[in-house]
Amino acid sequence: MKSWVENVTIKKYEDRSGLTGLKQEPLVWTEVFLREVNRQSNTGILHFWPMDQTVILGMMDSQVAQLDKGLASIGQAGYSPIIRSLGGLAVVADEGILNVTLILPNPSGHKVDLRESYQVMVDLIAQALSDFPFEVVSGKVATSYCPGTYDLSIKGRKFAGLAQRIYQEAIAISAYISVSGNQVKRGQVVADFYVASFAPQEVSDRFPQVNPDSMANLSDLVGQDVTVEDMKKRIEQVLVENGTRLSTFYPSSDNMADFMTFGKTIKQSMEKYGI
């Protein structure tokens, strides 16, 4: 991780969801920040973004046979659906989940090694939790929601998942971290979405058979109350310890113009799915 963040100025932006009334607001900022970092070769952005009672679907999720029924299932559970352009499948966001995206310049100037960039976030989270006497393991938890090679687990239960997106020479590595709250319920919401979305007799290996018990929140796993704010501070501390210069990001007029452009595009794409 150090080779990616050492001597890089990383500007922190804490999204205050709802400023624009656009529920996809954090996803729009990802597009804006990718372009900003692509323009500024020695600058990164640390984006913390909250979302209230939301199921963030992947593009593949939009291809299920009965999407309308799946979306209705999400609504009945008290959540709102959106679709993201980052890779992966459905994940849940609420006040007990920390969503964090680290947008960095390509340190090599060569084609990005996806394994290396994923490892940056793995190391960041593992180091942030290094004071707990538990090993953070990276590896696929097949029956979790949004299973992937870089799932993070403690004692065999997943608490975080990763995704990334590349734009030219900028890389956005995102993580959702289940810090507190009812993780089993979150898993059930996603499991019910897939059950409702499949056509009768449909079988697909593209989507997980979600077992809600395969995941847990961080507080339960370490046996200590951990808060979203605490995790933010831990992540910032690790970046500084690895040679990062932290400052605050203030959107420029160009950033806001990009935000309006991408916001309109993303809103139109959501409307196509009835969201």
Taking phi over 0 as left and psi of -120 to 50 as alpha, with beta for the rest, 217 belongs to beta
Contact 83, 61 (CB under 8 A): yes
Calculate the CA 211 to chain-centre distance: 20
Calculate the CA 20 to chain-centre distance: 20
Tell me the residue length of the chain.
275
Torsion angle in degrees (nearest 10) through CA of 35, 52, 190, 195:
-110
Supply angle C-alpha 178, 181, 186, rounded to 5.
70
Q: Which residues are catalytic?
A: 146
Q: How many CB atoms lie within 10 A of CB 136?
A: 20
Q: What contacts 170, CB < 8 A, 6 or more positions away?
A: 33, 34, 35, 37, 38, 103, 104, 105, 106
Supply angle C-alpha 178, 190, 195, rounded to 5.
160
Residue found under tokens 């966001």: 93
Contact 210, 143 (CB under 8 A): yes
